[in-house]
């Protein structure tokens, strides 16, 4: 008994181990670059359960699993002949990068529509969607809007393409428009026009800058000459002023020296006279001489003073005259400098005005040439575009007419061929059927006709019934006066007459050239039972 229990426990442990191992194998982990799709019986009434990151148990028997890759899928699209808003066909080679989305609702769309497809099949589906939406976006824009505002063009592509890709579980990662060209040369003409306008604008700006440079150079030279003349005038004036002050100072010093010498000599002489007079006090001669000497010295002193004062006045007058002469010379030089400066200013102004006039004339000539070239270019480009557009439209219309005519002719030919083949097959089948029927009847043509008529009996009787079925008889009123004779009344006669008015089957067959066999019965007159009256 113990052995049995131990064996049971061992078997149970093995079974539990195997069951645990099996359950562990049913736990699926999802890599970061994939989506785990669990399908079968899932909760929430959904068609599948999508797991991105982490893991989940996959129940045996009622559930199964599969991975969807999140790797980006680059799709090269060489779109040719897309019709723009201006009815001009353009070429837009581009590269779209798409991938399966990780949003919950879009992941479910991918699980429902892309689970069993490989990368190439997914690319084909995305390519069809992108081509249609790209043509739709191009049809709503002009070539100028597509060529100049690339950001708006890409936004519209993202807006339209993303919505449609989400329906199949994809999302748009990147759009790269490689180039935009057209067969008519319209975009190239727009580029040449923009380049020409930029070149003309640059030439005008260069001319303006050259003019501004020359004007600035003339102004700088004029200001330099004015400043130099002013500095030179101030230098001369300063030198004349210094020279005048120097001469006045020297004259003052010489005058002071002369006056000092005269006073010193006078004092010395007076002192000697005083000494002599003291020495010969008692002598009258000495006194007289003394008085004479004193008078003479006094006269000489007065004469010296007068002479010094006269020299002083002469010197001052000479200095004043020299100063006035220097001032006048300085003023004359200033006036001369101002005159030269005014002349130079006038000459500089004249040159500036002439340069402005020449520059304006050249600018006007350049603008005239540019405008004429621009006008001529625009007209030529417009005429060339119209011409090519008309040619393309005519070719397209002719091609469409040829295609439609060929399609109609092919359709009529196919119709008649189909009708001919169908009629031929029908007649062949009928002939084969008639042949088989004659063989089955042993070559008896009457039997064959009888069998064919039996098949048509139902339609013949239906036609007979239809003859009276369309009669709108709401009510029949019979006034029976009892004049029908013995065992008869008017009602019975009415019914007999009505039945007799229907064409018999045998008559119809005879009119058709067919004699019915006798086993179908003959029309005989039978007494219609009298209607019982109560």
DSSP tag of 57:
E
Which string of b and e fits 3-29 if b means at least 16 CB within 10 Å? eeeeeeeeeeeeeeeeeeeeeeeeeee
Instruction: Label residue 157 exposed, middle or buried (CB < 10 Å: 0-12, 13-18, 19+).
Output: buried
pTM: 0.37
Cβ-contact 138, 144 below 8 angstroms? no
Residue 428 pLDDT: 86
Q: In this predicted model, what pLDDT tens digit does every residue of 381-431 receive, in sequence order?
A: 778 788 888 888 888 888 888 888 888 888 788 888 888 888 888 888 888
Q: Write down the domain spans for the chain.
A: 67-188, 198-375
Q: What are the backbone angles phi and psi of residue 516, rounded to the nearest 5°?
A: -70, 150
| Euclidean distance between CA atoms 97 and 165, whole angstroms | 12
Q: In this predicted model, what pLDDT tens digit does every residue of 270-326 receive, in sequence order?
A: 566 565 555 555 566 666 676 777 777 777 767 777 777 777 777 777 777 776 777
Residue 522 pLDDT: 55
Cβ-contact 443, 450 below 8 angstroms? no
Q: Is 521 left (phi over 0), alpha (psi -120 to 50) or beta?
A: left
Cβ-contact 531, 489 below 8 angstroms? yes
Statement: residue 78 has pLDDT above 80: yes
Q: Give the confidence band of 502 by pLDDT, cuts at 50, 70, 90.
A: very low
Lowest-pLDDT range of 34-38, 432-436, 495-499: 495-499
| Euclidean distance between CA atoms 96 and 129, whole angstroms | 11
Statement: residue 456 has pLDDT above 70: yes
Contacts of 477 (CB under 8 A, 6+ apart): none
Q: Is 475 helix (H, G, I), strand (E, B) or coil?
A: coil
Which string of b and e fits 329-358 if b means at least 16 CB within 10 Å? ebeeebeebeeebeeeeeebeeebeebeee
Residue 467 pLDDT: 64
Cβ-contact 235, 227 below 8 angstroms? no
Q: In this predicted model, what pLDDT tens digit does every residue of 318-361 receive, in sequence order?
A: 777 776 777 777 677 777 777 777 777 777 777 777 777 777 77
DSSP tag of 63:
E
* CA dist list (Å): 201 to 204, 208, 354, 371, 442: 5, 11, 24, 12, 106
The enclosing H or E element of 279 equals helix 186-279
Q: Give the confidence band of 489 by pLDDT, cuts at 50, 70, 90.
A: low
Please compute the mean of the pLDDT values over residues 256-266 and round it to a whole number: 67
| Euclidean distance between CA atoms 36 and 67, whole angstroms | 5
Question: Which is it for the CA torsion 123, 125, 129, 134, positive or negative?
Answer: positive
Residue 531 pLDDT: 42
Instruction: Label residue 110 exposed, middle or buried (CB < 10 Å: 0-12, 13-18, 19+).
Output: buried
User: Is 173 or 389 the better-scoring residue by pLDDT?
Assistant: 173
Query: Residue by residue, what is the 3-state secondary structure of 138-197?
Result: HHCCCHHHHHHCHHHHHHHHHHHHHHHHHCCCEEEEEEEECCCEECCCHHHHHHHHHHHH
* CA dist list (Å): 244 to 254, 316, 337: 15, 11, 22
Please compute the mean of the pLDDT values over residues 39-47 and round it to a whole number: 80
Please compute the mean of the pLDDT values over residues 36-54 and round it to a whole number: 83
Cβ-contact 366, 196 below 8 angstroms? no
Cβ-contact 166, 101 below 8 angstroms? yes
Lowest-pLDDT range of 27-31, 130-134, 188-192: 188-192
What CATH number belongs to 67-188? 3.30.479.30
Cβ-contact 130, 79 below 8 angstroms? no
Spatial strand order of the sheet with 34-40 comes to 48-51, 34-40, 63-69
User: Which residue matches tokens 């048509």?
Assistant: 456
């Amino acid at each position: 008994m113990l052995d049995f229990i131990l064996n049971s426990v061992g078997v149970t442990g093995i079974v539990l181990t195997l069951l645990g191992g099996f359950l562990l194998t049913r736990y699926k982990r999802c890599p970061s670059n994939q989506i785990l799709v669990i399908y079968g019986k899932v909760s929430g009434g959904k068609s599948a359960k999508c797991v991105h990151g982490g893991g989940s148990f996959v129940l045996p028997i009622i559930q199964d699993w599969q991975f969807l890759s999140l790797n980006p899928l680059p799709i090269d699209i060489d779109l040719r002949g897309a019709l723009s808003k201006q009815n001009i066909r353009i070429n837009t080679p581009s590269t779209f990068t798409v991938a399966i989305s990780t949003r919950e609702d879009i992941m479910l769309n991918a699980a429902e529509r892309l689970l069993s497809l490989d990368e190439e099949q997914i690319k084909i589906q995305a390519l069809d969607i992108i081509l249609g939406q790209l043509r739709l976006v191009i049809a709503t824009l002009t070539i100028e809007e597509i060529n100049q505002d690339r950001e708006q063009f890409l936004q519209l592509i993202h807006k339209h393409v993303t919505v449609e890709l989400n329906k199949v579980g994809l999302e748009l990662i990147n759009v790269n428009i490689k180039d935009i060209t057209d067969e008519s040369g319209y975009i190239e003409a727009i580029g040449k026009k923009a380049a020409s306008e930029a070149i003309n604008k640059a030439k005008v700006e260069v001319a303006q800058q050259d003019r501004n440079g020359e004007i600035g150079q003339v102004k700088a030279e004029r200001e330099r000459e004015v400043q130099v003349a002013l500095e030179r005038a101030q230098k001369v004036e300063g030198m004349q002023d210094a020279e005048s002050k120097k001469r006045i100072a020297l004259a003052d010093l010489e005058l002071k020296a002369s006056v000092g010498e005269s006073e010193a000599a006078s004092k010395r002489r007076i002192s000697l006279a005083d000494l002599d007079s003291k020495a010969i006090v008692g002598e009258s001669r000495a006194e007289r001489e003394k008085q004479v000497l004193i008078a003479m010295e006094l006269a000489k002193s007065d004469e010296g003073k007068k002479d010094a004062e006269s020299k002083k006045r002469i010197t001052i007058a000479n200095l004043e005259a020299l100063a006035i002469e220097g001032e006048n010379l300085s003023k004359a030089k200033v006036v001369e400098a101002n005159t030269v400066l005014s002349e130079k200013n006038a000459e500089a102004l004249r040159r500036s005005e002439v340069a402005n006039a020449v520059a304006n004339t050249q600018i006007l000539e350049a603008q005239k040439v540019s405008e004429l070239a621009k006008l001529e270019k625009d007209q030529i480009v417009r005429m060339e575009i119209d011409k090519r557009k008309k040619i393309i439209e005519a070719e397209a219309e002719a091609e469409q007419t040829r295609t439609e005519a060929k399609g109609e002719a092919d359709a009529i030919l196919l119709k008649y061929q189909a009708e001919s083949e169908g009629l031929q097959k029908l007649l062949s089948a009928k002939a084969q059927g008639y042949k088989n029927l004659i063989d089955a009847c042993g070559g008896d043509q009457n039997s064959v006709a009888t069998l064919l008529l039996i098949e048509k009996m139902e339609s013949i009787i239906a036609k007979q019934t239809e003859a009276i079925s369309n009669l709108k008889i709401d009510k029949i009123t019979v006034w029976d006066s009892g004049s029908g004779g013995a065992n008869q009344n008017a009602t019975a006669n009415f019914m007999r007459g009505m039945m007799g008015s229907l064409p018999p089957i045998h008559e119809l067959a005879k009119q058709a050239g067919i004699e019915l066999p006798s086993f179908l019965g003959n029309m005989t007159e039978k007494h219609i039972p009298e209607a019982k009256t109560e």
